[in-house]
Amino acid sequence: MMRMKLHSSTLGVFLMGLSLAACSGDDTIATASATDTDTDTDTDGTTTLATTGTSTTTGTSTTDATTIDTTTTDATSTTTTTTESTGPETSTTDVTATDTGGPSCDDAEQNGDETDVDCGGSCSPCADGQMCLDGVDCQSGSCVDGACAPIDPCANGVMDGDESDVDCGGSCMVCNAGQMCNADDDCVAKCLDGVCEMTECVEDADCADLNTDCTVGACLDFACVANAANEDGPCDDGDLCSEGAVCTGGVCGGGAPKDCSALDSACSAGLCNPEDGECVAENAPNDTPCTAEYGCGGNAVCTDGACVDDGGVASFYEPFADNSQGWALDMEWEIGAAAVGCGDPGTDHTPTDDNGVAGVVLGGCATTQLHDYYCLTSPKIDVSGQADVWMSFWRDLYSDYTPYMKNKIEVWDGNDWVIIFETFGFPAVNDSNWTLFEYDLNPYVPADNTILLRWCHNIGSGGAFNRGSWNVDDVVVGPQTCQPF
């Protein structure tokens, strides 16, 4: 119960205070609301406010003095105005009205801290569609863009509507593996016995683990599969010691072992190191018998990866399998297969299959037309480090005698060609078979340790007989007695 007696000058302040005060929602508070306000001047000069309620005046009202007596009982405020009558006519007014307090939660206006009419703020929450500031202003607890939104049945934390599990399935989002379902559509994948089953994938990107040089991961019926790709394209088979692997039906393979034969030698084998794919030379055990390149026929054995021949090693060897060492050939000279004809041998001397020799018109006769020397000249032969320098070769020479034909072998001593063999007059040379000849070159080794050799012939006089001339094989420059074959 509240009793108030107010002057008009303080009413505004009072209303302002009420509007700022928190509304308790208690409907026992009277709200200032007047349908009629009557202000008059008292006889003593003071102004007394007559307010609220409906004033009923009977006859002519001459109100000199007004006293407001406000009694508030619950929701009803009763104001009794007593008018003193100064004349014969007396007017008595009894007013009963709804009272006069501040904003309330049921005054049909948006005031106080309400977010919409009579709701929100400290009033009861608003219904869907009404204005709000925050979820607490709403019955649904959801304030979206300033308006109370209906509660999302798919996010209300209970299984309702057509959901198959809490907030999923039906018209809500699909359920995850392990959640309840009614049909496949309720699940990311499949519904099995009322439960969404586990799935490996939903889209191809989930299967990227299966991407390789030769495969592409794909999601098929919610399971990852590796599809073959890059058919016949290059791929890495993971073996550093294979080369040229390709994809075949999704599998990388078919690579060839890396070729490390460049490191092969008499006492080592080129092998690929699987750790880094590099070629390395693996040495044969020491004292393993071996065949030394240009070895001179001793008891060659491997020593720390090198084939050492105790008979020595030659500086140069030529079996004439081809002309890869670069001999210079004047007219009539050839390097090729031995051939029978005009006294030439049908087989070479070297015990290999190439049958290669050097000779004058292989399988035929030398010309008998007069000419100066035609020569077979060796490549440069480096004899550095060779303590003992001899030349040996196998010969099958069939010639006329000087002056019809003359034959010679020369060595370059750094300044001049020096003859180390020549033919003269009768009798002529006619080798019956391959024959070994050896020459000491030690006196002729030039300062730069590089020597040249040449085999030559001429026609010095008309009337020469047809002869097969030179056949040369297995030329060796090395220590004396060095005979590889």
Distances from the Cα of 131 to the Cα of 115, 125, 151, angstroms:
6, 10, 15
**Alpha carbons 177 and 194: distance in angstroms, whole number:** 11
Written as one string, the DSSP assignment of 329-391 is E-TTEEEEE---BTTB-SS-SSSSTT-EEEEESTTSPPP-S-EEEEEEEPPPEE-TT-SS-EE
Measured from the CB atom, is 336 or 403 closer to Ca ion? 336
Give the CA distances from residue 289 to residues 26, 270, 282, 309, 481, in Å, rounded to whole numbers and listed in that order: 118, 18, 16, 10, 21
Name which of 321 and 418 has its Cβ closer to Ca ion. 321
Smallest gap from Cβ 456 to Ca ion, in A, equals: 14
In angstroms, what is the minimal distance from the CB of 234 to Ca ion?
44
Cα separation of the two ends of the chain: 140
Beta-carbon contacts of residue 441 (< 8 Å; ≥ 6 apart)? 383, 389, 390, 391, 411, 420, 451, 477
Shortest separation between residue 237's beta carbon and Ca ion, angstroms: 44
**Half-sphere exposure at residue 266, Cβ-oriented, CA atoms within 13 angstroms:** 19
Could you give the CA distance from residue 399 to residue 395 in angstroms, rounded to a whole number? 12
Pick between residue 356 and residue 479 the one whose CB is nearest to Ca ion: 356
Spatial separation of the C-alpha atoms in residues 395 and 470, rounded to whole Å:
7
Least gap, CB of 406 to Ca ion (angstroms): 16
- Smaller CB separation from Ca ion, 114 or 348: 348
For Ca ion, the closer CB: 68 or 365 = 365
Tokens of 149: 């939104």
Nearest to Ca ion of 210, 361 (CB atom): 361
Closest CA to 206 of 195, 186, 196, 221: 221
* Cis peptide bond N-terminal to 403, omega within 30: yes
Nearer to Ca ion, 101 or 319 (CB): 319
Instruction: 122-129: list long-range contacts, CB under 8 Å, 24+ apart.
Output: 122/22, 122/23, 122/24, 122/25, 123/23, 123/25, 124/25
Collapsed DSSP state (helix, strand, coil) of residue 171: coil
Which amino acid does the sequence have at 157?
G
Q: How far is the CB of 477 from Ca ion (least distance, A)?
A: 16
Q: How far is the CB of 468 from Ca ion (least distance, A)?
A: 4
Q: By the criterion CB under 5 A, which residues form the site for Ca ion?
A: 319-320, 344, 348, 350, 356, 360-361, 468-469, 473
Residue 118 or residue 473: which is nearer to Ca ion going by CB?
Answer: 473
Pairing relation of β-strands 471-478 and 390-395? antiparallel
Smallest distance, Å, CB 425 to Ca ion?
22
Q: Compute the least distance from the CB of residue 460 to Ca ion, in Å.
A: 18
Place of tokens 């009322």: 194
- For the bound state, the minimum distance from the C-beta of residue 485 to Ca ion, rounded and expressed in Å, comes to 9
For residues 281 and 342, which CB has a smaller minimum distance to Ca ion in the complex?
342
